[in-house]
Amino acid sequence: MKDPYPRNSRASTIAPEEIRMDRVRTGIDGLDQLLHGGFLRGDAILLAGAPGTGKTSIGMQYLYNGVTKYKEPGLFITFEEFPERIYRDADNYGWDFRALEEQGKLKVLLPLPRCSSKTSSAIRALSAR
């Protein structure tokens, strides 16, 4: 049977009235069902919830499925957790993020905030850490 929600379809190749059907599968069965096939292509998704409710886990699973099931590249940008923790937690689910990075299919990034020279001098002057 033809896949009604091909992850790699492009909006430009389908009729305008079908654009709403252009979905990006998460590869998480229950979630894709709930989302009528996946996220709408091009949308920015904000996942909100209390700590420990699985936001990071869903993000990791989405990227893992994208790389392993749908041949899409994955970029994980973390602002609060060191990449080592992401690798460890992904490992816990059986997802080898380091291996995917070595294959050039995934990247985990921690953008470090830049210190202005004024801030750096103040820190040095105080011998603060």
Ligand X SMILES: Nc1ncnc2c1ncn2[C@@H]1O[C@H](COP(=O)(O)OP(=O)(O)O)[C@@H](O)[C@H]1O
Determine whether 97 is exposed, middle or buried from the number of CB atoms within 10 Å of its CB (0-12, 13-18, 19+): buried
Give the count of residues interacting with ligand X (CB under 6 A): 10
- If one asks whether residue 104 binds ligand X (CB under 6 A), the answer comes out as no
The H or E element that residue 23 is part of is strand 23-24
Taking CB under 5 A as the binding criterion, the range among 23-31, 49-57, 61-69, 105-113 that sits at the site for Mg ion is 49-57
Closest separation between CB of residue 55 and Mg ion, Å? 5
The token pair that represents 73 in the structure block: 């590249």
- If one asks whether residue 65 binds Mg ion (CB under 5 A), the answer comes out as no
End-to-end CA distance of the chain: 61
Pick one of Mg ion, ligand X, none as the site partner of residue 92 (Cβ within 5 to 8 A by kind): ligand X
Closest separation between CB of residue 44 and ligand X, Å? 18
CA distance 76 to 38: 19
Contact 41, 22 (CB under 8 A): yes
CA 81 → CA 78, 85, 99, distances in Å?
A: 6, 6, 19
- Site map for ligand X, 81-100, x if CB under 6 A? -----------xx-------
- If one asks whether residue 79 binds ligand X (CB under 6 A), the answer comes out as no
Give the count of residues interacting with Mg ion (CB under 5 A): 2
Q: Which residues are at the interface with ligand X (CB under 6 A)?
A: 49, 51-57, 92-93
